[in-house]
Amino acid sequence: MKKFIYPFAALALMIASAFTVIKSQDWKIADNYSIKFDGGDPAGEFKGLKGTVSFDPAALATSKFDVSVDVASINTGNGMKNTHAKSDAWFDATKYPTISFTSTAITKTPTGYLATGSFTMHGVTKPIAIPFTFANNTFTGSFEVNRMDYNIAAGEPNHGAQKFKVDVNVPVTK
């Protein structure tokens, strides 16, 4: 039995090493990113983007996004709207301080890539698919979110927009 120990150890090392070879590239999020939303009125942006960005076009199976933004960082350009958005009438930033996205799969598409995963906002998690491109070390994506799906001011469907277009532009560095 002892004679198999070293071959097994060598095999285990070989398999483990293989995983390190195909592991995706980890990226650091650069400071000049932008996460903008536009529902006509209101429109604005979020800051406080953090998390792990692991992406390699040649190893999509092991690529993964696990990122979040700080709800309290919302900026509509209007102080009154910012306060209202952070209050329990809308995002309830005290109770739900982050909006997060965790990918479960990333696939290649004719125009770029598609990240599918779970999107959590206002304590509600829903599946979502985010199309994006990756060029010049910058992720660029755009998707739509309906606040009613996340119980945000659900009692006031006509108070401001329901559907928001979210434009994400995230430069990254190695």
Partner 1 sequence: MFKRVFFHGLVAGVLAAIAAIIYNRIYFFATEADFSKILNIPSMIGLSLVICMIATFVNYGLVKWLRQKGEIVFNFLFSIISFACVMFPISISLPLDIKMPELFPGLAVPMVFFPVIAWLTIKPLFQAKEH
Q: Which residues of this protein are in contact with partner 1, per CB under 8 A?
A: 36, 42-45, 75-83
Nearer of residues 131 and 171 to partner 1, judged by Cβ: 171
Shortest separation between residue 121's beta carbon and partner 1, angstroms = 20
Run of H or E including 14: helix 5-22
- The tokens for 138 are 């910058």
Interatomic CA distance for residues 56 and 65, integer angstroms:
11
Q: How far is the CB of 69 from partner 1 (least distance, A)?
A: 14
User: In the bound complex, what is the minimum distance in angstroms from residue 77's beta carbon to partner 1?
Assistant: 4
Which one, 57 or 77, has the nearer CB to partner 1?
Answer: 77
Q: Looking at beta carbons only, is 34 or 118 nearer to partner 1? A: 34
Non-local CB neighbours of 58 within 8 Å, separated by 6+ positions: none
Query: What distance in Å separates the CA atoms of residue 133 and residue 128, rounded to the nearest whole number?
Result: 16
Phi, psi (deg, nearest 5) at residue 20 = -70, -30
The Cα 166–Cα 31 span in angstroms is 19
As measured in angstroms, the least distance from the Cβ of 33 to partner 1 is 13
| Residue (113 or 164) nearer to partner 1, CB | 164
